Amino acid sequence: MNEKEHPDTKSKYNGFDRSKIMTPVVSEHLMKLGCNISYPGNKKFAICLTHDVDDIYPPLSHRILSGLYSLKNKDWSGLKKHLFWNMDEKQESPYINFQKIMELEKKYNAKSSFYFMTAERDPRRFRYNIEDIADEVKLIVESGWEVGLHGGYYSFNDIDAIKREKRRLESVLGREVVGYRNHYLRFQIPDTWELLEKCGFKYDTTYGYTNMVGFRNGMCHPFRPYHLQSQQWMDIYELPLHVMESAMFDFAKPHEAWELIKQLLEKAELNKGVITVLWHNNVFSCPFRDRWAEIYEKILQYGVQRDAWMVSGEEIYKWWEENGYLLYNQSDPMG
């Protein structure tokens, strides 16, 4: 989008009222009421870093595009890496790149969450067997990062499917999984929260836009959903999702994308909030998406400059459970 070419986009982005979705109106109201929010080391705000692992093997379209980019740049090693990674006995998919991502984050004293799929069905293609990368997945947790479940496309309203997928991932990890995000951000309120709660998840981070960035429910803070039928606060936290890179780059060029993200980060800092960002793992190994990866590193750099706490969803949940909203008393609904 170009505001000079389309004057009406000053107030609207992708059909959304920008003034509404770029401002965390609910969080601002809570801060005015007197919420007392703190973070480890007196950090000013938090950035929750997350990665959905949709693929560990590049689909054909990605292989072709990466190959063309490598040819264009006369990058012969890149050509082999992206087109012929499975031709040798030692198959090394470029999308099994978790160590690369962790090394990048380590440079900025940051950690993140990786959400892996274990569903057997998918509307597009076979994804992967989690058992094939068991060692890599265990290494993520051993390194201090988080592994969560990326629920299948058909699982958001199916408790048996969620239980199966959770058990399968936990069997590979050898430990409990507490974090969840559903594939394609499919979600049904309040049913999915209810199912996740029954399955033992401690937090979800699905609630965000699939075609825009911003504060979908006016919140830049985690919260416990309120169940209208039972009239009780649910025993699960929602970490709202604010930026999914694929949604953002559908309508924004890189320089526009960074300005949007910067606005969200500034709002989070003003409200001592949490900004949740999602960058798929494949972005960090796609020559045709190198600008996307650059924007992610800019977020890390900004976080260091502005003294942000940059961590996984699990760390956010744990901190919030112990030190979250302190309004006027512990009976406050947001506590």
Q: How is residue 294 written in tokens?
A: 């650059």
3-class SS at 246?
Answer: helix
Where are the chain's structural domains?
A: 17-57+95-323, 60-94
Q: What is the pLDDT along the chain (335 residues), one digit of tens a residue?
A: 333 333 333 445 656 666 679 999 999 999 998 888 999 999 999 999 999 999 999 988 887 777 777 677 666 566 667 766 776 655 689 999 999 999 999 999 999 999 999 999 999 999 999 999 999 999 999 999 999 999 999 999 999 999 999 999 999 999 999 999 999 999 999 999 999 999 999 999 999 999 999 999 999 999 999 888 888 899 999 999 999 999 999 999 988 999 999 999 999 999 999 999 999 999 999 888 889 999 999 999 999 999 999 999 999 999 999 886 644 334 444 44
CB of 262 within 8 A of CB of 210? no
CATH topology of domain 17-57+95-323: TIM Barrel (3.20.20)
pTM value is 0.90
Beta-bridge partners for 180: 149, 204
CB 242 within 8 A of CB 275: yes
Which contacts qualify for 229-238: CB closer than 8 Å, 24 or more apart?
233/333, 234/190, 234/193, 234/194, 234/197, 235/197, 236/193, 236/196, 236/197, 236/201, 236/202, 236/203, 236/204, 237/202, 237/203, 237/204, 237/317, 237/320, 237/321, 238/193, 238/203, 238/204, 238/205, 238/207
**Residue 247, both tokens:** 């949604």
Element at 147 (helix H, strand E): strand 146-151
